[in-house]
């Protein structure tokens, strides 16, 4: 059964705003309010919320309504642990399947990411969205040659949820320790190790890169007084 264009539009708008921090964790998603915001129609919004619920980005309970999925340190640690394992597996496989076209795509996306400054203020939502787009393209380019559609599907799901957390450090009103990181250098080092074919070095750099991001976001959650289980 085909999905109505209006439902697809509602889904894409809601998903984008959840991942980019316009709709924050724990925020209520009232259908009437969202319809006033998007002017798409009640039914497409309800269908979009159901789809996002199936993806784990929205929580939806009878008689309680829907809200953006909460965040927690425990989920963050579980998420990034799983992401590191899958990323390493996909990257190793991709390096074994290397082609000149794959290497060229890595260099192309690395150049685009390097050209986009990392936003240092909460007000630069457009800059943050641009950086996140290039960041995802770069990381996907690295694993794209793994040859496993299922692994890439799981990679995309984990990356979606990772973005919800990573986005907090881009939209928070206070600077965090990520400012002192040379993230551009980290990305370039990973790319060059991959291009050089040094699998163990590349995997080590990727693991360190993801661990640093996890640490930064964990510190940010602590500063926001979010501890342990889910927070409303």
Domain of residue 185: give its range.
Answer: 73-223
User: 67 forms bridges with which residues in the sheet?
Assistant: 28, 59
> Is 104 found in the same domain as 86?
yes
* Secondary structure (DSSP) of 172-214: -SS--GGGGS-HHHHHHHHHHHHHHT-HHHHHHHHHHHHHHHH
Tens-digit pLDDT profile for residues 72-81:
999 999 999 9
Task: Establish if 232 belongs to a structural domain.
Answer: no
Tally of domains in the chain: 2
Q: What is the pLDDT of residue 172?
A: 57
**Higher per-residue confidence, 193 vs 130:** 193
> Is 55 found in the same domain as 37?
yes
| Nearest CA among 34, 42, 38, 29 for reference residue 69 | 29
Kindly report the pTM of this predicted structure.
0.80
Tens-digit pLDDT profile for residues 49-68:
999 999 989 998 877 789 99
Tens-digit pLDDT profile for residues 73-117:
999 999 999 999 999 999 999 999 999 999 999 999 999 999 988
Least trusted range by pLDDT, from 31-35, 176-180, 220-224: 176-180
Q: What is the pLDDT of residue 137?
A: 97
Q: What is the pLDDT of residue 167?
A: 77
> Is 110 found in the same domain as 34?
no
**Higher per-residue confidence, 20 vs 8:** 8
Q: What is the mean pLDDT of the chain?
A: 87
Q: What is the pLDDT of residue 139?
A: 98
Q: Which of 37, 68, 99 is the last residue of a domain?
A: 68
* Secondary structure (DSSP) of 115-136: HSPPP-STT-HHHHHHHHHHHH
Q: Which of 49, 68, 87 is the last residue of a domain?
A: 68
Using CA atoms, how far residue 184 sits from 80, 86, 90, 124, in Å, is 20, 23, 22, 19
- In the chain the first and final C-alpha atoms are separated, in Å, by 36
Instruction: Give the domain CATH number at 191.
Output: 1.20.120.530
């Amino acid at each position: 059964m085909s999905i109505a264009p209006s439902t697809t539009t509602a889904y894409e708008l809601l998903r984008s705003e959840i991942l980019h921090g316009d709709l924050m964790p724990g925020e209520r998603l009232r259908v009437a309010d969202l319809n006033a915001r998007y002017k798409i129609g009640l039914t497409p919004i309800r269908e979009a919320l159901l789809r996002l619920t199936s993806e784990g980005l929205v929580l939806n309970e009878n008689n309680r309504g829907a809200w953006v999925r909460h965040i927690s340190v425990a989920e963050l640690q579980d998420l990034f642990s799983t992401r590191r394992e899958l990323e390493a597996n996909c990257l190793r496989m991709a390096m074994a399947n290397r082609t000149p076209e794959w290497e060229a795509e890595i260099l192309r996306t690395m150049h685009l990411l390097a050209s986009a400054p990392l936003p240092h203020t909460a007000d630069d939502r457009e800059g943050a969205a641009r950086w996140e787009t290039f960041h995802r393209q770069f990381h996907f380019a690295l694993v794209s040659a793994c040859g496993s559609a299922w692994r890439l599907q799981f990679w995309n799901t984990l990356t979606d949820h990772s973005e919800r957390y990573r986005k907090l450090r881009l939209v928070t009103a206070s600077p965090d320790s990520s400012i002192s990181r040379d993230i551009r250098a980290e990305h370039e080092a990973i790319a060059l190790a991959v291009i050089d074919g040094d699998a163990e070095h590349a995997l080590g750099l990727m693991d360190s890169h993801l661990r640093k991001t996890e640490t930064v976001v964990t510190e940010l959650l602590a500063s926001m007084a979010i501890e342990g289980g889910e927070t409303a």
